[in-house]
A and B are shown apart, each in its own frame.
Chain A
Amino acid sequence: MSSWQSISTIAAKVNAGQAKATELVEQALAAIAKHEEFKAIIVTLDAAARERAVKIDARVATGEQVGRLAGVPFIAKDNFLVFGAETTAASNILRGFNAPYQSTAIEKLEAEGAICVAKANLDAFAHGSSTENSDFFTTLNPRDKTRVPGGSSGGSAASVVLELVPFALGTDTGGSIRLPASFTGCVGYKPTYGLVSRSGVVAMGSSLDCVGPLANSVEDTALVLEIMAGKDSRDSTTIERDPKGYDLENIDISGKKVGIITEYMGEGLDPKVAERIRAAIESLRQAGAELEEVSLPSLPLGLAVYYVLTPAEVSSNLSRYDGQRYGHNTPGATDLHDSYTKTRELGFGAEAKRRIMIGTYVLSSGYYDAYYKKAQTVRTKVINEFEAAFKSYDFLLGPTAPMPAFKIGANTDDPLQMYLSDIMTVSANLAGIPAISLPCGEVDGLPVGLQLFAAQKKDRQLLNFAAKTEELLHG
């Protein structure tokens, strides 16, 4: 059990005057200081957080109901624009950047009384699966310090598992919320594409990027989504929220049809991970759900599609970092072109450069059709297979990752091997569908994640089913 109560309980106590926002912020800041060795945090927002907490307590003292997240401390991945500290996306090129406005997601959480206490480490610009691509430092896995926490939202996941705060925000372009949730042992949720506004979030792959929560339970996850979801005039890709909202409902899972994705259960899957997933399948069966294997033959192509589309979008999104308007600028350049190239040479890490150059290659004249357009067309094939499967099944299921957390340094010399960590997560992003990673037991003391998927815009149904699954797994 976490040292934090459920988010709704904390907020109820603050609203009732039984707990103080100021004390909750101090508890979070003390926990952050205590666990500094794990390097989950880039910067704390001490002053801003304390100031907000005092105001919230004062409002409660006048009898006001502050909101559904009253006084609840949280940590944001450092690619969210937040007042009170620099926003760096863990990159050298954004060092010293102070956000002139805040992300919509942060604004919505604050409007309900939540307090951002720190910014979490990530792979720079969210490019990676381990936080080893952070330009600053690598976050250690709370369960085993010699291993990675997963990425790119590794600092956010470690923050939840170290109990620094009740929840953290992450972003998921190809698994960056779900993979670290799986590697550290918390819940990680990637909503339907467009359900949560990305205004004020450092862009990576814009046709895939999603904002989502990491938390201790599905209940907390659903509450955070409930508050963040919905259309935003500042992000034209946002979609309408479910009219019923996302608060959990008690559902009966007997008779629910669940497809076990054949392609994720075979070759390349650690047999001990497979055992944990099969045990979860058995629990669901005993509870009355109907499970059977279903083949989506194009899913193994998802990773290749992803590693064409993402670098292409990255090369475009990262072209804005030129050192002229904000961020790092390398002095001593002779002319503007020289200033660009020198700034970007020092400002970008190896993975950002790698992706920018791959993106530049696949988008260049003569290669565009062969790579980019072809990848977008294979993406359609992947989407069609998901759509066909969801005609027969309410949900799909598989592992979140083919293996538990790997050792720090194990994949750093082999970028392609690192990319393979995302093989079971990227397809949900390609199809824009919601997916969740739930803790599903351990293998040799390391957490394993169970992944559940639903059709686009079935976030409410997926969360309700995930909550029941969570009960079965943790009894």
Chain B
Amino acid sequence: MAKLSRDDVLKLARLARIDLTEQEVETYANELSEILQYVEQLSTVDVEGLKPTNQVTGLKNVMRKDEVIDYGYAPEKLLENAPSVEKSQLKVKRMIG
């Protein structure tokens, strides 16, 4: 049975780019374990001969012409939502030390 430890939760949070408080780590270790235990009922289901479903209405390779469509979104308008902008570009924190 899946029982998540504190370290497991911290690892998941790190992978998902979420900081957690001490209290959250405790709570999630219990809650996530409970949810995983519930979904583990799937492990015993016989699916012999069945394929996984990726697309439920059977669509495949939906193509469109590779052409520019002008939706009229001005770059300035799109940048209005950005937390930090400089010279019409998104400004983010340094990535490489």
Question: Footprint of B on A, CB under 8 Å?
Answer: 96-98, 100-101, 192-194, 207, 233, 236-237, 239, 298, 301, 304-305, 307-308, 315, 319, 322-327, 329, 333-342, 344-345, 348, 350, 353-354, 356-358, 360-362, 364, 370-371, 373-381, 383-384, 415-416, 419, 430-432, 456-457
A98 to B47, CA, bound (A): 46
Question: Do A345 and B19 form a contact, CB below 8 Å, given A353-B24, A354-B32, A374-B47?
Answer: yes
Question: Which residues of B, 10-61, contact A by the 8 Å Cβ criterion?
Answer: 12-13, 15-20, 24, 28, 31-32, 34-36, 38-39, 41-43, 45, 47, 50-57, 59
B17's nearest neighbour on chain A, judged by CB, is A340
Contact B93 A341 (CB under 8 A): no
| Size class of the contact patch on chain B | 35 or more
Assuming A315-B16, A319-B16, what are 16 further A-B pairs, CB within 8 angstroms?
A233-B64, A239-B59, A304-B39, A307-B38, A324-B83, A327-B81, A329-B84, A336-B92, A344-B18, A353-B16, A353-B24, A353-B28, A361-B4, A361-B32, A380-B53, A416-B35
A207 to B55, CA, bound (A): 7
A237 to B36, CA, bound (A): 30
Contact A98 B16 (CB under 8 A): no
A187 to B15, CA, bound (A): 41
A353 to B18, CA, bound (A): 8
A96 to B39, CA, bound (A): 36
Q: Is the interface of B mostly helix, strand, loop or mixed?
A: loop
CB distance from A204 to the nearest CB of B (A): 16
Question: Do A361 and B62 form a contact, CB below 8 Å, given A304-B38, A325-B90?
Answer: no
CB distance from A347 to the nearest CB of B (A): 9
Contact A335 B93 (CB under 8 A): yes
**Which of A339, A344, A357, A370 lies in contact with B32, CB distance below 8 A?**
A357
Contact A337 B42 (CB under 8 A): no
Question: Do A377 and B50 form a contact, CB below 8 Å, given A207-B56, A357-B32?
Answer: yes
Contact A301 B42 (CB under 8 A): yes
Question: Footprint of A on B, CB under 8 Å?
Answer: 4, 9, 12-13, 15-20, 24, 28, 31-32, 34-36, 38-39, 41-43, 45, 47, 50-57, 59, 62, 64, 71, 73, 77-78, 80-84, 90, 92-95, 97
Contact B47 A381 (CB under 8 A): yes
B92's nearest neighbour on chain A, judged by CB, is A324
CB distance from A211 to the nearest CB of B (A): 15
Provide the residues of chain A in CB contact with B42, threshold 8 Å. Answer: 301, 304-305, 308, 371, 374-375, 378
A307's nearest neighbour on chain B, judged by CB, is B39
